[in-house]
Homo-oligomer: A and B are copies of this chain.
Amino acid sequence: MLSWMIISGLVNGEKESYCKYGKIKEVRMIQRYLGIDIGASSIKYGIGDSKQGLQYFASIRLQSKDRATFSRIFEDIFAEAADWDLAGIGIGSPGTISQPEAIIRGVNPNIPFLSGMSPKELVPAELDLPIFVDNDANLMTLAEAEYYKAESCMGVTVGSGIGSGMVLDGQIYHGSHGYAAELGHCNMVPGGESCSCGQHGCLEAYSSVDGIYRRLRAQGSLYANRLLPELIERRSDVNELDKIISEGEEVLIRALANLVIVMDPELIVLGGGGMELGLYNINRIREAVGHLLPQAHRETFRCELAGYGNRSGVMGGIILCERNLI
């Protein structure tokens, strides 16, 4: 308990703490892990382990998405983390990541410069720490599977894009080539809205926050420049908003139902900024997904909001790292 209290002091940015014998400069008693969650709009990071949870958490809003900005942010994070005795780093990134090389493959529309490189390259070379990388939604799902004590869990994040991950038998499922769980690019509307991936009719083109803005812009809507909370608030009064958000929800519901029908998971967890702000309603989703399921699946279907909230990705990075090192 003492070490926890001292470390709490460090968490608050104080490099010195006190115990009954006097001042303590640094505490390096327990090995901890750094989790970094690269998102389309922010980079979140935190320090902790699976037993004690997060002992530090911070978020940096992205002003630009070029490599130089990312490198600077990463340098700052590591400078800040230098006071901790880190045992390893777990990084979550959007995109399709080949395993075990951790190269981001294919188009990465939200952070284009990441395509073809590994997020490991963002870590200063002089830092001699083991680094593990996985898809951000995979890490969110790993954390949520631990949170809900589920052996089999599907995680879906509604944010700038639609992310998804699968945990089967307690392990992240990567598929045969590392490209599994790209739910956001399932074809939901034949010949539908164009998606940032180059295809048409993807789930992401309808149900992600960016997808909703893109559709509003295409209609020349005044709301295309407003913030998401305003869109959600004005939805009940403004037909064009309600129509586009309802369609986003309906397409998401069908995708979730199909995921349950194919995977029969113990649990589906919904997270991401969109869910946190209330873009879609979890109760409505639960009910509507249930209506689309065959009887046997309906009886066992369970859907929850992310227990770790917007810290799921960071926590997942920490758990990934810990699992690989212990």
| A173 cross-chain contacts in B, Cβ below 8 A | 168
Closest chain B CB from A81 CB (angstroms): 32
| A199 cross-chain contacts in B, Cβ below 8 A | 292, 294
Q: Is A239 an interface residue (CB 8 A)?
A: no
Per-residue 0/1 for A251-269: is the Cβ within 8 Å of any B Cβ (1 yes, 0 no)?
0001001110111111000
| A258 cross-chain contacts in B, Cβ below 8 A | 186-187, 258
Per-residue 0/1 for A169-205: is the Cβ within 8 Å of any B Cβ (1 yes, 0 no)?
0000111111111110111001000000111000000
A174 touches B295 (CB 8 A): no
Known: A96-B296, A296-B106, A300-B177. A186 touches B261 (CB 8 A): yes
Q: CA of A106 to CA of B297 in the docked complex: distance in angstroms?
A: 9
A178 touches B264 (CB 8 A): yes
Q: CA of A266 to CA of B178 in the docked complex: distance in angstroms?
A: 11
Known: A183-B261, A264-B174, A294-B96. A190 touches B250 (CB 8 A): yes
Copies assembled: 2
Q: Is A151 an interface residue (CB 8 A)?
A: yes
A257 touches B187 (CB 8 A): yes
Which residue from B177, B262, B300 sits with its C-beta under 8 Å from A264? B177
Q: CA of A96 to CA of B300 in the docked complex: distance in angstroms?
A: 13
CB interface residues, A 113-158, toward B, < 8 Å: 151-152
CB interface residues, A 57-103, toward B, < 8 Å: 96, 98
Interface size class of A (residues with CB under 8 A): 35 or more
Closest chain B CB from A130 CB (angstroms): 25
B262 touches A259 (CB 8 A): yes
Known: A106-B295, A190-B254, A295-B107. A151 touches B180 (CB 8 A): no
Which residue from B105, B265, B295 sits with its C-beta under 8 Å from A176? B265
| A187 cross-chain contacts in B, Cβ below 8 A | 254, 257-258, 292
Known: A190-B254, A199-B294, A294-B96. A179 touches B264 (CB 8 A): yes
Q: CA of A48 to CA of B100 in the docked complex: distance in angstroms?
A: 39
Known: A186-B258, A187-B254. A263 touches B180 (CB 8 A): yes
Max chain B C-beta neighbours (<10 A), residue from A175, A180, A259? A175
Closest chain B CB from A135 CB (angstroms): 12
Q: CA of A258 to CA of B263 in the docked complex: distance in angstroms?
A: 13
| A106 cross-chain contacts in B, Cβ below 8 A | 294-296
Closest chain B CB from A264 CB (angstroms): 2
| A300 cross-chain contacts in B, Cβ below 8 A | 176-177, 179
Closest chain B CB from A168 CB (angstroms): 7
In the complex, which residue of chain B has the Cβ closest to the Cβ of A164? Answer: B262
In the complex, which residue of chain B has the Cβ closest to the Cβ of A200? Answer: B292
| A292 cross-chain contacts in B, Cβ below 8 A | 187, 199
Chain A to chain B contacts (Cβ below 8 Å), 15 pairs: A106-B295, A106-B296, A107-B294, A107-B295, A177-B300, A180-B262, A182-B264, A182-B294, A183-B261, A185-B261, A186-B261, A187-B258, A190-B254, A197-B294, A258-B258
